[in-house]
Structure 1
């Protein structure tokens, strides 16, 4: 198989792919400099791209290739977690508009059994008003194509379009006439714009060719073959959509299908935890100078990412040095008095923000203490203690630790209980602490009783494939150690 790789993990993943005997195509200039390898300019079987929040990657393309990439990516580290993408780009889905916003509508999509949820499985998407000819209103049945998907832990929805596109390696077809060239080289653009006449080919009526950047270095026969494939895909997709009642806003809700009309690509989202990021550092170090915590720092913020590049360009990093948490925190945060979000990942891919806390202490060893003032009402989860206005929750975080405690205190300072969350190794970024909750937790009540809870939820998540067996065993080991220590 071959893959195109982009983003902050590109060097490490290129090394992993080449080491496994796979090919990397359309490599960037830095990758070409760092590796003693030949990189073809060819359509990839799949594309691997870093997510916008730099927390992981998405891989999309040929289903078999995506399956192989999923195995390779999750093998990076114990805390690398993967979720199938129910809405990979190019998928044609039916759905119902559930809400209209300022610039478009929210669509409840019928995604079928991609996540094992049966034919009635659904996902949300966003349909801009300008992407469909008709006005859309709540309750409208629609048939749309996914333009851009979204990782499950982000607050974005997949972006949809009411028109169709096909192909996409060297050339894609989209509604329109003429030819469009997506390359910056004017001379190459002029040459490609006349390529259809040279090849003696013509897109189906109502479609136009869009030449992609890799087409610049492709041979004539390769371009012809890619265009033939794109034409066949466009004709097949157009026929299927016409037979099913068209695209965009549908005339009748009876036309809505419970499974995708077309799914030319598969997709997977992979979130890297702290251990995985450091394992990727080791991979990257085989190709180029890499500071300890390279990917951990880059994942924190765009400014931090630029700082890493500068540091590695100016000096040779010591591979055996400890991760300089204090230096990173001093430069980019968090600092005492800052607001820090507690971003609580779930094994099913969702991310829940537990709220913002105020940083009260930061240590060079990676320890960060935060406090939240609680509102009244209800009880503390698991502790069965009433939550009263003015209570304070003090959370003690430590970079790299597989657990963290939160101690609840009343106005008078009296301890109302301690809840210890077992999770993937904590990462304290400039504006948020991140981890994935591993379900099992340990509590200490005010009378000194220690209680372990939610082992059943961990078993269920393991059985569902959300928590791999080695990670589940690690969580149980950590919970047992906490029981004994408390």
Structure 2
């Protein structure tokens, strides 16, 4: 049975679904156990870890042994149906027989890669490990000479000298001494040993057996690779996959969490919105059994809190993995539907997408409607004449503490005297990262945006707010 360790703000929803699907939990925290009705999980270490990313709380990472990681990732597509999806290629920590060029580069799986080696010259053959994979489209692949094999408790590394290292979670000095002694014979063979966090409490016999098995396996791979042609994969490595969650994915996670625990509407988007909003979600979870009509109140709360922001920024996450921050802008007010921002133009140029001159003194009115797939930008001259409208098509807008966040779906709709759909080719370029359901949602949003611009609805709203 596949064992999974779950951490982070989505843990209850993810763990609940995985249990339903027949997975086993491992290394279960006390809080998660209580939320799941006392589930203790397996005492054995996990095959796979699922958690939110340290760099971006909206990203859910799945990482672990390749076969088991793939199974968990495929299962979680049910929980995150609209999230853009990314899988590392080549596999993280996979190893290849390679040959390098004069720039110490090679090509594996059709991808150019940088190679790190103590000595590099054209035509040199070696075994190299993938230490950085291509997850997002703009990522670079990096290999390092050597071979790393991973187990539940230990990693064995050939071709990079010798020594013993420890997970930062292993702090007990007596335990460290035992582990150093256990690895001493292996290290004397010129091999590096890295003890993983699960080694801090495991039986010594289990550690010894895995260490010896991995060393034997690594040595066999090393010898066998001598006769293999360059480009051959010699070790599978790990699975690494990412879901870049959207508002609707978080709402699906809310529904799953609600099966086991009182959960207010928009729980997960509030948890991802900053410390104050996270606290509001915890309070809402306690209130919701007495008042199920909270959705409208959440939107009202968000607009009210953001109206107090002196500076407000828009976090425009791209499908290529990058993030563009727009602003900060000044919040000039709210309506029943919108948060209204204003930015003053300082430079000459051309407004992107509408091909209209940008001049100092122009101003931009931006309408942000929480939970809507549109962010509407109106461009005005210094005298208040509307120059054009640019409508971003996104995942539904999430509101945090003085910021809005969404995933840009690349395609946009503009008005510059006529209504046009632009950047369709950009959507097509990254469409492989989107589910059919997400693509249908984008198509529907584009249709609605065209209709509203053609009717003049958004132009009238913008002019009224700019006056």
Scaled by the length of structure 2, what TM-score is found?
Answer: 0.77
Q: Relative to structure 2, which stretch is displaced further, 435-444 or 390-399?
A: 435-444
Whether 2:96 is the aligned partner of 1:61: answer no
Distance across 2 between alignment mates of 1:408 and 1:145: 51
Question: CA 1:393 to 1:188, structure 2 compared with 1: closer, same or farther past 3 Å?
Answer: same
2:400 alignment counterpart: 429
SS at match of 1:232: helix
Structure 2 CA distance for partners of 1:6 and 1:454, relative to 1, 3 Å: same
Question: Could you give the per-residue CA deviations for residues 75-123 of structure 1, whole angstroms, max 9, x where no partner exists?
Answer: 224421211113654245779999xxxxxxxx9975633xxxxx1x247
Structure-2 change in CA distance of 1:151 and 1:435 (3 Å): farther
With over 3 angstroms needed to count, the CA separation of the structure-2 counterparts of 1:270 and 1:372, relative to structure 1, is: same
Instruction: Indicate the residue corresponding to 2:243 in structure 1.
Output: 270
Pairwise CA distance, 1:16: 1.2
Equivalent residue for 2:465? none
2:298 equivalent among 317, 324, 328: 324
SS in 2 for 1:324: helix
Alignment correspondent of 1:367: 338
Of residues 149, 160, 166 in structure 1, which corresponds to 2:149?
Answer: 166
**Residues 326 and 364, structure 1, Cα contact 8 Å, conserved in 2:** no
TM alignment of 1:80-479, pairs within 5 A: 80-86=83-89, 88-92=91-95, 112-113=108-109, 119=110, 121-122=111-112, 145=129, 152=136, 165-174=148-157, 175-177=161-163, 183-185=170-172, 189=176, 192=179, 195=182, 202=186, 205-219=189-203, 222-236=206-220, 238-239=222-223, 262-301=235-274, 303-304=275-276, 307=279, 311=283, 315-318=286-289, 320=292, 321-322=294-295, 324-327=298-301, 335-346=308-319, 349-353=320-324, 355-361=326-332, 363=334, 367-374=338-345, 376-446=347-417, 449-455=418-424, 457-459=426-428, 461-462=430-431, 465-479=432-446
> Unmatched 5+ residue regions in structure 2?
454-467
Whether the aligned pair in 1 keeps the contact of 2:82 and 2:434 (CA below 8 Å) is: no
Taking the aligned partners of 1:295 and 1:459, their CA distance within structure 2 comes to: 30
> 1:37-83 CA distances to partner (integer Å, 9 max, x unpaired)?
34113232222231112011221223332332332223224421211
RMSD over equivalenced CA pairs, Å: 4.2
Matched, 1:71 2:74: yes
Tell me if the contact between 1:147 and 1:159 (Cα under 8 Å) persists in the aligned partners: yes
Separation in 1, partners of 2:114, 2:340: 36
Distance across 2 between alignment mates of 1:79 and 1:44: 27
User: How many pairs align?
Assistant: 440
Unaligned runs of 5+ in 1: 99-106, 114-118, 245-254
Residues in 2 aligned to 1:240 and 1:263: alpha-carbon distance in whole angstroms: 15
Separation in 1, partners of 2:434, 2:239: 21
CA contact (8 A) 1:359 1:370 kept: yes
- Aligned to 1:40, the other structure's residue is in SS state coil
Q: What is the CA-CA distance between 1:299 and the residue it aligns to? A: 1.7
CA distance in 1, matches of 2:323, 2:346: 19
